[in-house]
């Protein structure tokens, strides 16, 4: 006997036939022919029908009188059983005691004002007159508006630098008392004014462009509670992590430029050292704190917003603002990795619908580059393999963090993305939007 196979092993197939049939229980025999005679005897039909029992007769017309005798109506009606009486006037006094009205009303809580009387629409030729609406700028106008913040940023730096130099020249002339001594030390005065001018220029840019951004794209002022709710730990940690990775990526890009263009990189670093970057406290404060605020408002705020209206596509606006962000650094060494960093910062601002998170990321980049870059990456030799790893590894990790979308389950359904962008935290089907 073959082994019986389990039908569950073949969910989509018909099980094979079985051959282990037993013997039949019923015993079959030869047919019997000994039939008996039929019990019913058939005979000839009978025709001797009898006469019908019912005799039909002529109809009878001798109807009798009706049993009910109709009489005259009776008028001897009796008196009604209910006896009506005189109405009663002995009514009792009411239970409720009415009093004099009270006049000591309190003041109303609602303060009424003068009624608002809207003007009736003026009719012209049978149609209601509507005042002309403000026309929005077109694509060309928005494109030039996207370039205007960078021009304003350069103008602020030049104006502040000139004002600081003039003030320091007059101060030195007043202290020395001779103009010749001041002109001889003009170069030293200019070098000494760079930290002050840099910090003051970033401060003016942060304040001025904040007002510009507020008036242009933040007209309905959000509530403080709504702003605080957006600052969740997840996007803050994401911004800090991406900022550190971008700082490492920038170091690798600078190392690659050192291998390809050593003379250019050497001249650039010499210029930065002369400006006092990394040594002066005012420059460090401006670079770490003020620069992320002002530059994000300029490039990821104003420039990218206007560029989106001009091009109608986020990727085109992101490319433009990243290119202008690289141009703003005024050198090729910083401009190259500033361009790639600007792309990531633009994505963060667009993803979270706020420049606050790109500011956090920018703060992490500048802080790591200023304080920890030399200590963390100074021991790495400048060769092709090292700089490749400094570029590839942070880029791969950044792409992984950007593409990571943590999802959570609530009430047995998959929720939306756990980061505050496009939509709020929700579990409904139409969100995520």
Q: The tokens 């170069």 sit on which residue?
A: 187
Output DSSP code: residue 289.
I
Which run of H or E residues covers position 127? strand 127-128
Instruction: Tell me the domain boundaries of the chain.
Output: 139-406
> Angle of helix 262-274 relative to helix 233-260, nearest 10 degrees?
120
Tell me, what's the pLDDT at 375?
Answer: 61
Q: The tokens 């009878």 sit on which residue?
A: 60
Share of the chain above pLDDT 70, in %: 66
Decide: 303 and 324 in contact? Cβ < 8 Å.
yes
- Give pLDDT tens digits for 356-390: 889 999 999 988 888 876 666 666 777 777 778 77
Confidence of residue 108 (pLDDT cuts 50, 70, 90): low
Q: What average pLDDT does range 64-68 have in this prediction?
A: 69
- Give pLDDT tens digits for 277-326: 556 788 888 889 999 999 999 999 999 999 999 999 999 999 999 999 99
Q: Which two tokens stand for residue 311?
A: 């091009």
Q: How far out from the chain centre does Cα 324 lie? A: 28
- Give pLDDT tens digits for 124-151: 555 555 656 667 778 899 999 999 999 9
Confidence of residue 212 (pLDDT cuts 50, 70, 90): very high
Burial of residue 304 (number of CB atoms within 10 Å: 0-12, 13-18, 19+): buried
Task: Give the HSE-up count for residue 80: Cα atoms under 13 Å, Cβ half-sphere.
Answer: 3
């Amino acid at each position: 006997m073959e082994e019986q196979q389990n039908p569950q092993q073949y969910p989509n197939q018909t099980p094979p036939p079985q051959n282990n049939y037993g013997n039949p229980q019923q015993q079959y025999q030869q047919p019997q022919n000994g039939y008996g005679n039929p019990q019913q005897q058939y005979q000839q039909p009978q025709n001797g029908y009898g006469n019908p029992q019912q005799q039909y007769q002529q109809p009878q017309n001798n109807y009798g009188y009706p049993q009910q005798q109709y009489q005259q109506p009776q008028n001897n009606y009796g008196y009604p059983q209910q006896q009506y009486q005189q109405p009663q006037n002995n009514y009792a006094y009411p239970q409720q005691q009415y009093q004099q009205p009270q006049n000591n009303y309190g003041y109303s809580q609602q303060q009424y004002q003068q009624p608002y009387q809207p003007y009736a629409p003026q009719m012209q030729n049978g149609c209601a007159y509507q005042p002309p609406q403000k026309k929005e700028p077109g694509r060309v106008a928005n494109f030039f508006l996207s370039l205007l913040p960078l021009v304003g940023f350069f103008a602020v730096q030049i104006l502040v630098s000139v004002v600081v130099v003039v003030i320091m020249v007059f101060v030195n002339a007043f202290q020395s008392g001779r103009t010749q001594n001041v002109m001889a030390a003009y170069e030293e005065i200019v070098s000494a004014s760079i930290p002050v001018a840099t910090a003051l220029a970033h401060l003016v840019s942060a304040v001025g462009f904040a007002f510009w951004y507020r008036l242009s794209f933040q007209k309905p002022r959000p509530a403080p509670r709504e702003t605080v709710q957006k600052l969740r730990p997840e996007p803050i940690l994401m911004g800090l992590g991406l900022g550190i990775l971008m700082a490492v990526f920038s170091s690798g890009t600078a190392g690659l430029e050192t291998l390809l263009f050593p003379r250019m990189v050497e001249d650039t670093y010499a210029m930065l050292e002369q400006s006092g970057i990394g040594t002066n406290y005012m420059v460090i404060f401006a670079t770490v704190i003020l620069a992320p605020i002002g530059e994000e408002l300029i490039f990821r705020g104003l420039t990218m917003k206007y560029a989106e209206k001009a091009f109608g596509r986020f990727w085109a606006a992101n490319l433009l603002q990243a290119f202008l962000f690289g141009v703003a650094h005024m050198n090729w060494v910083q401009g190259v990795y500033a361009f790639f960093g600007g792309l990531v910062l633009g994505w963060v601002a667009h993803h979270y619908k706020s420049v606050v998170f790109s500011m956090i990321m920018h703060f992490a980049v500048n802080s790591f580059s200023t304080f920890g870059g030399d200590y963390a990456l100074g021991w790495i030799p400048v060769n092709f393999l090292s700089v490749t790893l400094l570029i590839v590894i942070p880029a791969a990790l950044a792409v992984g963090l950007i593409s990571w979308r943590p999802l959570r389950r609530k009430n047995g359904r998959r929720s939306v993305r756990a980061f505050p962008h496009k939509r709020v935290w929700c579990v409904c089907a139409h969100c995520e939007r």
